[in-house]
Amino acid sequence: MLTQEDNELICRVGPGTPMGEVMRRYWHPLLISDELPEPDCPPVRARLLGEDLIAFRDTNGKIGLIAESCPHRGASLFFGINQECGIMCIYHGWKFDVNGDCIDMPSDMPGSGFKEKVHVAAYPTVESAGVIWAYMGPKEKQPPPPNYIFNNLPPDHVIAYRVPIYCNYLQSMEGNIDSTHLGTLHVYHQDKVPVDLDTDRPGYPSPKFALYSRAKYRYARVDVQDTDYGFRLIAERPTDAGNKYIRTNCFVLPYTAFIAAQRRGPAGVLIQVPIDDYTNQRVGIRYNVHAPFTAAERRQTIETGALMDPNEPKKRLKRAENDYMVDRWAQKNTILAGIWPIPEQDYALIETMGAIYDRTKEHLYGGDAAIIRCRQMLLAMARNIQEGIDPPGLDPDIPTHMIQSEEIVIGPDDDPWLVAADAGETTKRGERLR
């Protein structure tokens, strides 16, 4: 558990907070590129790390990310007109470009140079993997743009979506690196029936056998190894034939999880971006190194990851006020959670912990090894930045493009530490890179 002081330190991300200053040193996936579909399209409201922002695509296709409030008298630039390489406030006509510079001030006297003195807060952006990424930290500390495996694939090999989550980022992120909840929360009753036992051998198991293994062996031995980018966690379960079923996740600071998946097929990451202290957004990126996604796969991924309310499109359909539409009959007969689709199962549990979970009351066990290590790292980062020590994981020499997860069966005498060690990880249990 954490003390109340540490819980506050790790959860608060607004301007001027230690964790907020840490977060501002990294690139953040803010919007999906399709939300700004073409030059001079309408601007979009965005909120990140407690700041209200406006994003727009200018006439030349460049992305601007600026403070929502006009620096004149605070009117919202969301109502501004995006055209001719800038967004014009409809209150007095002040116009700002993607750099935040005031490029027109028609309500000022002719010949005045006052506009040269006016600037609105603006943040750098890059587009990659179907996502608009933002950097909000000091200019001199700006790291290179994201360079993960999915940033280096053709667009049709990548699917990106985002969905609002109504709680602090930390409990969302902790769910993504919790390997033992898979055997309960995400289980169908039919998963408990032995199936595809012929794939219980070294190599890739069938998807159904993987589900059966998690349903039968709900526990896992969880080991964590520090890396230059964060850590990797290995969850090991036995199999009926005496082999070892291995799921290897990679956690990339400050909040990205490469979810265990077989390398022969599609994989994905879950990125829990803090909107403010009380809300976050999941940016899910699914990628396939080997083949493009079909239109049906793309549609299903987006619809499952973000089940939105048709009557209130900015809200999720299943949320606390309707008890996530839990089906009590289904809990006893089809799926333990009684909630579908699978992402909504996660959302229901993390949101009902409260907007900011009180970690002074919890009781952690061995299966929480990754969560414990994650908190230790984040707390150290928050304390260190107050001493002028830069956060880890930002060195451009770290081979982030080689980070990959894995799901595989190995033999009883095989070493799981040799699995998924591509991005500079060591292959000895418990060994630290730093």
pLDDT tens per residue across span 59-90: 999 999 999 999 999 999 999 999 999 999 99
Question: Buried b vs exposed e over 281-306: b needs ≥16 C-beta within 10 Å?
Answer: bbbbbbbbeeeebeeeebeebbeebb
In the listed set 111, 141, 171, which residue is the last one of a domain according to the structure?
141
Residue 434 belongs to a domain:
no
Q: Are residues 124 and 170 in the same domain?
A: no
Q: Are residues 132 and 204 in the same domain?
A: no
In the listed set 141, 174, 200, which residue is the last one of a domain according to the structure?
141
Residue 345 belongs to a domain:
yes
Q: Are residues 112 and 156 in the same domain?
A: no
Percent of the chain with pLDDT over 90: 96
Q: What's CA 326's distance to the chain center, in Å?
A: 25
For residue 428, pLDDT over 90 is answered with no
**Residue with the larger pLDDT of the pair 426 and 58:** 58
Q: What is the pLDDT of residue 432?
A: 67
Please state which of the ranges 3-12, 226-235, 246-255, 305-314 shows the lowest mean pLDDT.
Answer: 305-314
Residue 323 belongs to a domain:
yes
Domain harbouring 34, CATH code: 2.102.10.10
Q: Are residues 231 and 309 in the same domain?
A: yes
Residue 27 in tokens: 């690139």
Q: Are residues 175 and 192 in the same domain?
A: yes
Q: Are residues 163 and 280 in the same domain?
A: yes
Residue 14 belongs to a domain:
no
Q: Which of 166, 185, 180, 179 is nearest to 340 (CA)?
A: 185
Residue 393 belongs to a domain:
yes
CA dist 32 and 131 (Å) reads 5
For residue 434, pLDDT over 60 is answered with no
Residue 248 belongs to a domain:
yes
Overall average pLDDT of the 135-154 stretch: 98
Instruction: Report the number of distinct structural domains present in the chain.
Output: 2
> Which residue range forms the structural domain that includes residue 167?
149-418
Q: What is the pLDDT of residues 383-422, one digit of tens each?
A: 999 999 999 999 999 999 999 999 999 999 999 999 988 9
Q: Are residues 72 and 172 in the same domain?
A: no
Q: Which of 149, 426, 392, 367 is nearest to 247 (CA)?
A: 367
Q: Are residues 61 and 106 in the same domain?
A: yes
Global pTM reads 0.96
Residue 18 belongs to a domain:
no
Cis peptide before 29 (omega within 30 of 0): no
Q: Are residues 35 and 108 in the same domain?
A: yes
Q: Are residues 296 and 405 in the same domain?
A: yes
CA atoms within 13 A on the CB side of 239: 26
Percent of the chain with pLDDT over 70: 99
Q: Are residues 366 and 243 in the same domain?
A: yes
Domain harbouring 390, CATH code: 3.90.380.10
Please state which of the ranges 59-68, 231-240, 298-307, 357-366 shows the lowest mean pLDDT.
Answer: 298-307
Helix (H, G, I), strand (E, B) or coil at 3: coil
Q: Are residues 73 and 157 in the same domain?
A: no
Question: Beta strands of 154-279 (E only): which ranges?
Answer: 158-165, 221-226, 230-238, 244-252, 256-259, 267-274
Residue 175 in tokens: 């769910």
Q: What is the pLDDT of residues 87-107, one digit of tens each?
A: 999 999 999 999 999 999 999
In the listed set 82, 115, 141, which residue is the last one of a domain according to the structure?
141
Q: How confident is the model at residue 433 (pLDDT cuts 50, 70, 90)?
A: low
Residue 432 belongs to a domain:
no
